[in-house]
Amino acid sequence: MGSFDFVTIFFLVAAVVIFLQLRSVLGRRTGNERPPFDPYSKREGVEPADSADRGKVVTLPRRDLDEDENPYAAIDAYAAPGTPLNEPLRALAKTDPSFEPKKFIDGARMAYEMIVVAFADGDRKTLKNLLSREVYEGFDAAISERESKGEVVRSSFVGIEKADIVGAEVKDSEANITLRIVSQLISATYDKDGKLVEGDADTVAEVNDLWTFARDTRSRDPNWKLIATESEG
């Protein structure tokens, strides 16, 4: 998968309206079998990916709301007023009016799959575009360790069973969103002699992860970065 001609660095920053609606997220994951090195729980911003061959970010004009229209309708539809998640999501939408939970989740699901596949393939270019600097360094270390041993990962991404926002907050100008993602993967790691050392090529495994994405709401860049991930067993 190249850098992101079809989907942009974090989540499709393509010049097409259908991709634009996914612009609220960016990221995906390297948690298939369970990497030989745990590159999780890291945070930081990532260097912007080289935009030369990615196309420009297109921003649609914001729709004016009717006087009696609820500016938090999309938030309230996802997390009812009075629930623990509603207030932080409203705070996020206040700083970033373009934010909508369901669109964010759609983008996060796409990002998750791309990262999982890129990690298995050792595709550093794709990972670098999707991860914060520190998270990328962890993933890169895991790939390097695998390569030094001559190991190869053969994996198949079956799909995402569930993805829900479980936390959100805004600190200064940085918005953070945490999702719980339940996915199904088939993954097996082989040594240089072709011997199975981890996983099972014939078994679908369930993976439970918590992923946190971040974005500077003052930035004109609409992309979110994966800043932390941990496995839930």
- Per-residue pLDDT, 98: 87
Q: What is the pTM of this model?
A: 0.70
| Overall average pLDDT of the 12-38 stretch | 37
Residue 68 pLDDT more than 70? no
CA dist 62 and 223 (Å) reads 17
User: What residue segments make up the domains of the chain, in order of their start?
Assistant: 17-47+74-231
DSSP 176-221: EEEEEEEEEEEEEEE-TTS-EEEEEEEEEEEEEEEEEEEEETTSS-
111-121 residue pLDDT tens: 999 999 999 99
Could you tell me which residue, 163 or 54, shows the higher pLDDT? Answer: 163
Q: What distance lies between CA 138 and its chain's CA centroid?
A: 15
CA dist 224 and 175 (Å) reads 9
Q: For 108, which DSSP code?
A: H
For residues 78 and 101, the answer to whether their CB atoms sit within 8 Å is yes
CA dist 12 and 25 (Å) reads 9
Strand, helix or coil at 78?
helix
Percentage above 90 pLDDT, the chain: 62
At 131, list the tokens. 């991860």
- Per-residue pLDDT, 35: 41
- Amino acid found at 173: S
CA dist 10 and 51 (Å) reads 12
Question: CATH code for 17-47+74-231?
Answer: 3.10.450.240
What H or E segment, with its residue span, contains residue 74?
helix 73-78
Could you tell me which residue, 98 or 122, shows the higher pLDDT? Answer: 122
CA dist 180 and 39 (Å) reads 17
